[in-house]
Amino acid sequence: MFAAVSSGFLSRRGALVLLLVALLAALAAGALAQTKDSSGKRLESIRSEMDRGQGLYLAGNYAGAAEVFEAGYAAYPYSAFLFNAGVCYQKQNDFDRALAKFNEYVRVDPGAPDLDKVKLRISALEAAKAAAAATALGDAGVGADAGAPPPVVLPSGDEQNAMKSLVVIETEPEGAPFRVYQRLDPNAPRFAPGAATANPGWKEVVATRAPANLTLDVGQYHVVVEKFRDFNESEADMAVTPGHVHQLKANLSQGKFMAFLRVTSNVIGAHVWIDDKKKTRPLWSDTPHGELVPGGKHDVLVEAPGFEPFQASVELEHGEQKQLEVHMVRVSYGVLRIDASVPEVKVRIDAQVKGVWRSGSEPLDVRFDSGRHQLTIESDGRKTFEGMIVVPRGQILPLHAQMIPKYPRGPAWTQAIIGAAFLGAALYAGSESDRMYDQLQQDREGGNLEGSDSRATRGKWFAIGADAGFVVAGVLGGISTYNFIKDPLPESSVKPGKLQEFEDPLKARPVAQRAPGKLPNAVAAERAPRLEFKPSASSTGGGLILGGRF
Amino acid sequence: MRARLLELNLLGCLVLGTSACSWSRFDDVTRDAPVVLFEKPGSMADGFGVSLATATNQGQTEVLVGGTSNVSAAALYEIGDEDSPGTTASDGYCTGDDQACFLSSLTGGFANATGPDKGRPLCFAVGTGTVDDGPIKSGLVVSCQDTTEYALGMPKVAQDLLAISIAENQPHDHPMATDRADDPVLLASLPDERLAWFYPARSTQFSELLLPDGAQQDDPSFGRSLAVLAVDGGRVLALGVPGKSRVFLWKTDGGSNSSYIGCLGGIDGMGRALAAGRVDADGNDDLVVSDASTVHVVDGARLFQLPQTASSACSLSLLPPGAMLGSFGCASTGSLTGCEKSEFGAALAVGDLDGDGDGEVIVGAPKMTVRDRANAGALLVYDAEMSTDAALVDVNFISSAEGGDELGRSIVTPHLAKRDIIAAGAPGNGKAALFYCSSLLAHGAAGSRCP
């Protein structure tokens, strides 16, 4: 990047200088990348705190918002946090704490562009506090329900726009002087290059050097990076929205503003590769992450274990900021991670054998299509578990099978077999009895039956034997049935564990965010530009200024 | 799954319970069985059922069951009625306990017997021997229901031989036969002497039967089968010589005179058994005669019409036209097997089993195999009415038959109420039985014993 930047000024600087710069750039590359990375993360954290406080404030949770801003200031001592906390206390009529925050704001940021306005706010608050105290004294003699303290007169527009934003202005290289002009008159024409006096309706509110962290009111601003060293002047417009962090970086050496790409996902920690579909280089970052990138077309690859890979191309203009919101979809299969309380179990899903788990080995991972499936777990001497299981999409469902021993059925089988033998004997005896009776009846019909026919006696004994056999068989059958049914032991069961994400070989497992109420399909949503890309020009040169809010 | 197992078990118990066998049905099926065995007296150790005779007088019917001739005695049974048959012997005849008595192989029953001093109901000519009472102390012994007995004189040769027999205890058989008239004629023979005679009705005097010259009677089987036919005008006397395949015929007008009227023969074994009874409905007894394989029914009235003859020829062709009512053999019906060795026709009887006025022919086949029991024996009942061919209408056997029973070795038809029943001996295993039922009877017409 530096080589490309330097090429634009080759005619002005000697080759020696070029080599020196290149060398320094090479030496500084590692540290720069690390610094850039930590700076990006810091900004991401500040942004997160600011957004959270702003959200609570808009929701009317002033106490919560104040708490967040206080914590934000403690972690990142930017005066915008102080002011916003003061506003939150003021909304709660907590004059003392509001005054404390505003006074501290004046103290820590004496050059704040809105210092006068803040002092006016302090004065108004003190008056309101005094009036409230007087009202309280007067009310003491009248009664407790005399009324609430009089409302505090606040500056106009002090509702949603009361929150101040943090504006980070950087230049490449650092140290460039800049000025910030605020548009006071909404009808004022666009800022024209030149002094403030030449732009009615505009007022200079900041004049300092980059990098700088500014606390600004909501409004339209114009940033002018003045001529610095060999670089030309650059300028750009900037719109500040309440309770946000805005970053503005001017690459003076390149003569162009960089683009800003932020990739978010419903999966926190999803891996992002930029212009590296084959993943031959280290990953760009994990979601969410935003970073300045060169303008132009970029291929974005987002992956997370358990989710379908996402690929998209993003076209970024120089100085443009885009946020790519990726809604990752889980893969259509899941994994059952099975172990058991016994030395060995056989696992079937939908009647297909999927594997055998043995004690001492890792849990058996069974990959299967997501959805409801019939799970069968078998083990010798144990009750077979059969049940429906829902295989999750793109996740691991740990299952611990508690295999219960089969209740011994030996006595029942013995009784059943003996009963069956009795039944068989009874059936035989009954059959013989019937056969003999039929013969006797036939002989009687034929007039040949003799009264002392021995078959009558034998048939009678067969009948008695059959009846006795049926009784014994019935009793034994009943007892054996009872013993077959009797089972004081519980059924084998499966205890599902907490759903787990697929292992991530690159790092700790990502955590899926709860899906928002409504998400676009495989989103590559492009919001309205939050960065403003403005060319800057002056009589001595030109450049590009990138401004953004996020 | 367990609930289903319990349901199946309960269902099984229900099925088994409902299908459980009742043993009491065997008592029901054997109660009032259609076949009743006579109880064999303990004293009759040998050959119970070799001979049978029956007599009926004033509704009382008795059956005499004889043992082995010349060896055993005979047992008398009052058969009572269908509901309470008498199967226990009421008396013993020809026991030889006090007087010498040699049981004959064929005995005869008398509805009324005329003794030397008075008439007696229900008597049986049982054999030869001596008696205590009466003018004749030895001869043919007639024992009666009133426990009296008397002797009938015999031709001198027979009488002398009896004296020797008594003295040396070497008896000779004297087969006998009577008709079923109220005053029967007794026909007797002495095969060992080729001698035959008869006692006219209400007479104790014998009359010897003479054969024409040239008649071939010299055979030990002479007189082994006998029959007396009661016909209008007298009697026809038939004597079989199965060894010579002949049946000699005489007729008598009721007195002591007799005339030889011919000889039936020409077929092997002719005369193996003889029986008399009313086969057709003309009111006269008919002659039933068997040979080695066939049973012939000859009209008794036509026989009585035969003139006296001196011819010694023997042939069925001598019969007048229409005299042969029918002939039938065991194998003539397709429903029977094993006829060849069954000794079909070993014994014959005629009885009105259905009470319709004409009789059925009962043929004994003592060697017939019944339900795989060899020689169990069977009784084949034929309806041999004049106008129709003989038809097998019943096959009777003892349901509890054993191999070797030889049912059908002797047959009589005791009269019971308005019909006759069958009594048959199975001497092979010492049995004699009454058969109460006939398929010719209408359903329910024969009481509780018959279907």
Q: What is the pLDDT of residues A443-476, one digit of tens each?
A: 998 889 998 888 999 998 999 899 889 889 989 9
Provide the terminal-to-terminal Cα distance of chain B, rounded to the nearest Å: 52
**C-alpha to C-alpha distance for A54 and A59, rounded to whole angstroms:** 8
CB within 8 Å: A474 and B12: yes
* Short-list B352, B346, B340, CA closest to B365: B346
Q: Per-residue pLDDT for A360 more than 60?
A: yes
Q: Contact A485/B5, CB-based, under 8 Å? A: yes
Interface mutation vs chain A, best among B30, B368, B448, most A CBs within 10 Å: B30
Better pLDDT: A129 or A350:
A350
Cβ contact B17–A470 (<8 Å): yes
A440 and chain B in contact, CB less than 8 A = yes
Q: Tell me which residue of A293, A299, A211 sits closest to A254, measured CA to CA.
A: A293
**What's the CA gap between A204 and A237, in Å, rounded?**
13
Q: Do A447 and B435 touch (CB under 8 A)?
A: yes
DSSP run (H or E) holding A116: helix A115-142
Strand partners, A169: A212, A248
Length of chain B: 451
Q: How far is A339 from chain B (nearest CA, A)?
A: 27
CA distance to partner chain A, nearest, from residue B12 (Å) = 8
Size of interface A-B (CB pairs under 8 A): 123
When pLDDT is cut at 50, 70 and 90, the band that residue A508 belongs to is low
Q: How close B94 comes to chain A (CA, Å)? A: 29
Indicate the pLDDT class of residue A416, thresholds 50, 70 and 90.
Answer: very high
Contacts A481 to B, Cβ<8 Å: 5-6, 9
Assigned token pair, A194: 């030149």
User: B18 touching A, CB under 8 A?
Assistant: no
Q: Which residue has the higher pLDDT, B134 or A526?
A: B134
> Looking at residue A319, what is its pLDDT?
64
Closest CA to A472 of B305, B16, B236: B16
Neighbours of A186 (CB within 10 A): 8
Beta-carbon separation of B399 and A450 below 8 A: yes
Token match 């065997």: residue?
B26
Which runs of E-coded beta strand occur in A120-209? 165-172, 177-183, 202-209
pLDDT recorded at residue B278:
94
Whose tokens are 């009938």? That residue is: B152
pLDDT category at A60 given cuts 50, 70, 90 is confident
Q: Do A447 and B396 touch (CB under 8 A)?
A: yes
What is the reported pLDDT for A150?
53
Contacts of A447 in chain B (CB under 8 A): 34-35, 394, 396, 435-439, 450-451
Contact B361, B297 (CB under 8 A): yes
pTM exceeds 0.90, yes or no? no
What is the overall mean pLDDT for chain A? 79
Which B residues, 27 through 86, put their C-beta within 8 Å of a C-beta on chain A? Answer: 27, 29-37
Asked if residue A186 has a cis previous peptide bond (ω within 30° of 0), the answer is: no
Position A301 pLDDT exceeds 90: yes
Omega before residue A496 within 30° of 0, cis = no
Tell me if residue A358 falls in helix, strand or coil: strand
pLDDT-based confidence at residue A497 (cuts at 50, 70, 90): very high
3-state helix, strand, coil in chain A (%, to 5): 35, 30, 35
Higher pLDDT, A15 or A297: A297
**Cβ-contact B282, B276 below 8 angstroms:** no
Residue whose C-alpha is closest to residue B176's, from B192, B196, B158: B196
Interface contact flag, A457 B26, Cβ < 8 Å: yes
pLDDT on residue A355: 93
Which residues are CB-neighbours of B239 under 8 A, at least 6 positions away?
B187, B189, B196, B209, B222, B223, B225, B226, B247, B248, B249, B250, B271, B274
Average pLDDT over residues A99-110: 90
Q: Which two tokens stand for residue B328?
A: 């039938």
C-beta neighbour count of A342 within 10 angstroms = 20
Answer whether B1 touches A (CB < 8 Å).
no
Q: Do A444 and B435 touch (CB under 8 A)?
A: no
**Smallest Cα distance from A353 to chain B, Å:** 24
Distance CA B89, CA B41 (A): 7
Rounded (10°) CA dihedral B354, B360, B363, B364: 30
- Chain A hits for B451, CB-CB cut-off 8 Å, are 444-445, 447
Yes or no: say if A182 and A219 are a contact pair by the CB < 8 Å rule.
yes
Which of B5, B13, B33 is the closest to A450 by Cβ? B33
Surface of A (478-507) touching B: CB under 8 A: 478, 481, 484-485, 487
The stretches of A311-453 forming alpha helices (DSSP H) are 410-445
| Residues B37, A449: C-beta atoms closer than 8 Å | no
Subunit contact A460:B433, Cβ cutoff 8 A: no
Reported as a pLDDT band with limits 50, 70 and 90, residue A334 is very high
Q: How far is B398 from chain A (nearest CA, A)?
A: 6
Strands (E) located in B131-194: 138-144, 149-152, 176-178, 186-190
Q: What is residue A221's predicted lDDT score, i.e. its pLDDT?
A: 87
Write the DSSP assignment of B67-123 as a string of letters. -STTTS-EEEEE-B-SSSB--S--EEES--SSS-EEEEEEEEEEEEEE-SSSEEEEE
Collapsing DSSP to helix, strand or coil, B281 comes out as: coil
Element (H, E) at A299: strand A296-303
Question: pLDDT confidence of A35, banded at 50, 70, 90?
Answer: low
Task: Tell me the percentage of chain A whose pLDDT exceeds 90.
Answer: 32
Cis peptide leading into residue A411 (ω within 30°): no
Task: Note the ipTM here.
Answer: 0.89
Quick one: DSSP state of residue B318?
Answer: G
Q: Which residues of chain B have pLDDT under 50?
A: 386
Q: Which residue of A has its CA nearest to B379?
A: A448
